[in-house]
Structure 1
C-alpha cells in the first residue's frame, strides 16, 4: 500500500518529505514549475515503495499509509493518484 498526502498539506507544501524520499515519488517539488500553483504535494501511488520515511518528516502530519488514512480524508487517495494521470 502506498502512502497518501492528505488535507493538512493544503496551503503548507512543506518539502521536507521530498528530501527523504528515496524514489522521488512526491511532487511537485519546489524547483518544478507546477509548485507555485499547486495547493499541496502528492505521492505517486505507482512509485511509492511504502518505506514511510516521509511520515516523520512532515511537520503537519499530513502523510499516512493508505490503510491508516482517517476516513474523512479518504478522497485524498484518488486526489494523489489523479495528479499523476
Structure 2
C-alpha cells in the first residue's frame, strides 16, 4: 500500500504534509504535490496533516481518483523532492472548495 495525492491538492498545495514525512517522498510541481510510491513507507502521518483532505491510502482511494495513482508515479520522476513546509498560494483557501480541478493541473 502507498498513499496518493489527489485532485483536492491542485492549486492549494499546502505543504503541511511534507513536514511530517519521515522519508522525503513528496515531490513538488507548479501547483500540486505528489508522493513517490517507491519511497513512501505507508506511515500515514501525512493524511491528517493535509488541510485539503487530498491524501488517500491507495486501498481507500475513491474510484473517481484512480488516475492519480499513475499521475503520482509519473510526476515524481521529474519533479524535485520537497522536504520543508512552505507558504501555500495566497488563494489556496478559495481553491480548497472547488471540485473537479484536474484541468488546472500544471505539470511543467
TM-score (norm 2): 0.69
Once residues 81 and 53 of structure 1 are traced to their aligned partners in structure 2, the CA distance between those partners, rounded to angstroms, is 19
Q: Which residue of 2 aligns with 1:7?
A: 7
Q: Helix, strand or coil for the counterpart of 1:77?
A: helix
Find 1:43's aligned residue among 35, 39, 45.
35
Which protein is bigger by CA-based radius of gyration? 2
Map 1:45-60 → 2, pairs under 5 A: 45-60=37-52
Give me the CA root mean square deviation: 0.9
Give, in angstroms, the shift of residue 27 of structure 1.
1.4
Q: Which runs of 5+ in 1 are unaligned?
A: 29-34
- Are positions 1:22 and 2:14 aligned together? no
Q: Which residue of 2 aligns with 1:31?
A: none
Q: Which runs of 5+ in 2 are unaligned?
A: 78-108
Large movers: runs of 4+ above 3 Å: none
